[in-house]
Amino acid sequence: MKKIILFLLLISSLLQAGDKPYLLLISLDGFRWDYLNRGLTPNMNSMAGQGTRALSLQPVFPSKTFPNHYSIVTGMYPEHHGIIYNRFLNPQSGAEYRVGDSISVRDDRWYGGETIWATAQRQGMKTACAFWPGSETHDPVKHPTYFYNYDGSVTHDQRLDWVIGWFSLPEAERPQVVTLYFSDTDDSGHRYGPDAVGNNDVIQRLDQTIGRLWQRLKQLEIYPNLNIVIVSDHGMTSMAEVQSILLSEILAGLEYTVSGYGPLVQFFPVDKQNEAELYARLKENEQGYTIYRKAEMPAGLHYSEHPFIGSLLAVADPPFTFTTSESENNESALGDHGYNPWLLDMHGILIGFGSGFNRMETGTVQNIDLYPLMCALLGLEPNPGIDGRLERVEFLIRNKK
Ligand code: AMP
Ligand code: ZN
Ligand code: ZN
């Protein structure tokens, strides 16, 4: 009799927890791949040791915050999803998308593809974002069920309260896909440089936040069905030896419309002659950067198809950086990113923790493959029009090949 009661209790607790899958996607902005090897992150290392850890997570080009966060949640390259930089032009209409401009970042017309939360909602799940680029749009089909407009001053613990609150909602209202975002290591990497003590202090504090979050998640009813994916959007390279490229000097006397700053600038020539002149001048002065015609961009950068991409592109190599009117307030940075994703300094991290992940270490994973991976963990049918490939990452999933 006792055995039967125990068995019934076990079954009822399993039924209570339900068999619904839950996913928490955490982004630590600018957290370079090697920060986990500094002896500063016991909590994340513990999660990585019990789950999946990639050597690094390769960003898409350009290795900036918005294009990469949006690629992680859509599985597409920027040339397909349309968020091609943190700031860019629609050359047809003259409209500008700009991080920090709440009107353009909430305008759903800029965002192509389908986010993981839109995919989940289309298939009957609720979703929530404690911040994520692209989560604040006005269109109710495109935004998550629950979200907050970005406010970088919200404390870590307030963000944790949101996440724990959502996962504690009654089942019918509870989101199954939740995102959480922290900008701290990006801010400190720019300010102090990736190898500075000031940056290490921030890495350590962020790991303590993850530790507090983990303790609180363990108390939740859904914990056995929760997979946690910790990523970063890109890494950081030292700009201590920065070399500024002054476009106004190189292009003196020529007419030009330029968009971008730092590692990448794009030109929108008024006609073929203007294009030829700009190209010739930029080619003559090609030092610390490479000038490409749009159609000649290296195929591996996947950055030539979108109509918002300029017809000429100049891509800098670190520690070179383009100085334009858009870049003024970034001049004193001791670290930067946005460069070619083949550079290891641009790589971020990937940790997968929970019953869905194999306990293993693997090599570099591409961030466009995370969307199909997350769909597989949640049992969702992914948007078929993506660049990411489940075949490249499904060996990370437990009970898959
Ligand atoms: P960057 O280093 O220029 O690629 O951009 C990083 C900055 O983007 C962070 O320091 C944040 O201030 C900002 N940021 C991150 N997420 C958002 C968001 N959802 N909305 C507005 N700004 C954001
Ligand atoms: Zn970033
Ligand atoms: Zn940054």
Ligand 1 within 6 A of CB of 225 = no
For residue 173, give the CATH number of its domain. Answer: 3.40.720.10
Ligand 1 within 6 A of CB of 131 = yes
Ligand in nearest proximity to the CA of 239: 3
Q: Is 7 part of any domain?
A: no
- 233 and 247 together in one domain: no
Give the span between the Cα atoms of 49 and 37, in whole angstroms. Answer: 13
Give the span between the Cα atoms of 163 and 128, in whole angstroms. Answer: 8
pLDDT at residue 162, as a whole number = 99
pLDDT band, residue 3 (cuts 50/70/90): low
The DSSP bridge pattern shows strands 226-231 and 289-293 to be unpaired
- 361 and 314 together in one domain: no
In the DSSP assignment, the letter for residue 134 is: T
C-alpha of residue 65 to centroid of ligand 1, in Å: 6
Q: Share the mean pLDDT of the chain.
A: 94
Give the span between the Cα atoms of 54 and 351, in whole angstroms. Answer: 7
- 107 and 252 together in one domain: no
- 161 and 283 together in one domain: no
With a cut of 70, say whether residue 15 has pLDDT above it.
no
* Tens-digit pLDDT profile for residues 53-71: 999 999 999 999 999 999 9
* Tens-digit pLDDT profile for residues 289-319: 999 999 999 999 999 999 999 999 999 999 9
C-alpha of residue 29 to centroid of ligand 3, in Å: 7
Q: Is 126 part of any domain?
A: yes
The DSSP bridge pattern shows strands 264-267 and 312-316 to be antiparallel
Give the span between the Cα atoms of 265 and 142, in whole angstroms. Answer: 29
pLDDT at residue 137, as a whole number = 95
Q: Is 12 part of any domain?
A: no
- 304 and 370 together in one domain: no
- 156 and 228 together in one domain: yes
Residue in 107, 197, 187, 194 with CA at minimum distance from that of residue 152: 187
Give the span between the Cα atoms of 328 and 241, in whole angstroms. Answer: 18
In the chain, the number of structural domains is 2
State the average pLDDT over residues 86-115.
96
pTM of the predicted structure, to 2 decimals? 0.95
Q: Is 188 part of any domain?
A: yes
Tokens of residue 130, six digits: 């404690």
Residue in 180, 176, 221, 217 with CA at minimum distance from that of residue 380: 176
Ligand 1 within 6 A of CB of 99 = yes
Domain span at residue 298?
Answer: 243-332
pLDDT at residue 400, as a whole number = 67
* Tens-digit pLDDT profile for residues 337-356: 999 999 999 999 999 999 99
C-alpha of residue 102 to centroid of ligand 1, in Å: 12
The residues that are catalytic are 65
Pocket probe for ligand 1: among 27, 63, 66, 86, the residue whose CB has the most ligand atoms within 8 Å is: 66
Q: 3-class DSSP state for residue 258?
A: strand
Residue 128, strand partner residues: 146, 178
State the average pLDDT over residues 273-278.
98
18, 250, 261, 271, 286 from 274: Cα distances, Å: 64, 15, 21, 5, 18
For residue 276, give the CATH number of its domain. Answer: 3.30.1360.180
Residue in 143, 365, 385, 387 with CA at minimum distance from that of residue 396: 365
